[in-house]
Structure 1
Amino acid sequence: MQTVDLRFWRVWVDEQGVSHQTRHAFNDHKQSVFAEGATPLWNAIHYTGPATIITLILMPGDLKDWHENPRPQWIIPLNGTWCVETMDGCIVEMGPGEISFGGDQGTLNNKGHRSWAVGDTPVELMLIQVSEPPPWNPCNPMS
């Protein structure tokens, strides 16, 4: 049977309070009817709690200071390119349609990460803040 995974970046904190970024995946997709009357498609439910949706615009050349994500949140670039650097020195560049989970609350000295827009155009981000991080925090990274 075929399986389908949707990959995302995860910002998380280790036992020493250092933030990291690793690649993970939504998995357990099954082919079934998602909406009555539609043909079956691959789907899986990953979160069912309350959420807040926020949009942000980062301007070119504006390097953000080190900070933690204010709440556990999914971050999806809509337009432009965005970079995130974690305390371990990992820098990840993401563009439209890529996904990152910001779960770096509780880092050493509240350092967390820093981020910036790449290039000459603003980056538009959609954030989906959740009350609790997913139960797989931290999870086993994908290769």
Structure 2
Amino acid sequence: MDERDRRAAGPTYPYWVLERGLQGLTTMRRAELDGFVSRTLGGRAAPSAVLDVPGDFQNVSFVHLPVGWVGEWHESPYPQWVVALEGRWFIEPQDGTRVEMGPGDLHWGGDQGTDDVGGGKGHRSGQLGDGPCLLMMVQRTR
């Protein structure tokens, strides 16, 4: 099986992309992680599907959002992957949509350099429900 065949047979996983859309407004869209290749993770471990993420990463943070926390209008400080580990949270981009996420949901924050619309740049976000939310952020260098 050549590289192309191994990629075609790999899994796909959905995630959310927060980005600057048409007319300068931030928006969210669904995308798919794909391009996994079969390889071992080392030693005698059986092969598994692996997708390496290119780029230079500067920071990994765990973020605790207490009950009631709201992050008013702000841009993602760096292009970043955000994974919900526990609890629920939301993102509201400038186009008026609202996406709610929970454990296992993945999101790419790429809303740097957005326009100020009605006094806000980027997006709003916040905690949902009766319990806190734990996020893991993996930030790229710009």
Using structure 1 for the length normalisation, give the TM-score: 0.84
Partner residue, 2:3: none
SS in structure 2 opposite 1:16? helix
Partner residue, 2:9: 2
Partner residue, 1:27: 34
Give the distance between the partners of 2:75 and 2:56, measured in 1 at CA.
Answer: 22
Decide whether the 8 Å contact of 1:83 with 1:118 is kept in 2: yes
Bigger helix fraction? 2
- The alignment yields a C-alpha RMSD, in angstroms, of 1.5
Bigger strand fraction? 2
Counterpart of 1:88 in structure 2: which amino acid?
D
Correspondence 1:88 to 2:95: yes
Tell me how far 1:15 sits from its aligned partner.
Answer: 4.7
What fraction of aligned residue pairs are identical, expressed as a percent? 33
C-alpha distance after superposition, 1:62-103 (max 9, x if no partner) = 322111111111111111001111111111111111111111
User: 5 Å matches for 1:92-131?
Assistant: 92-109=99-116, 111-131=121-141
Structure having the higher Rg: 2
C-alpha distance after superposition, 1:5-39 (max 9, x if no partner) = 12211100025221011111221112222222111
Decide whether the 8 Å contact of 1:50 with 1:131 is kept in 2: yes
Give the distance between the partners of 2:105 and 2:140, measured in 1 at CA.
Answer: 18
Runs of 4+ in 1 over 3 A off after TM superposition: none
Partner residue, 1:77: 84
Decide whether the 8 Å contact of 1:16 with 1:108 is kept in 2: no
Using structure 2 for the length normalisation, give the TM-score: 0.85
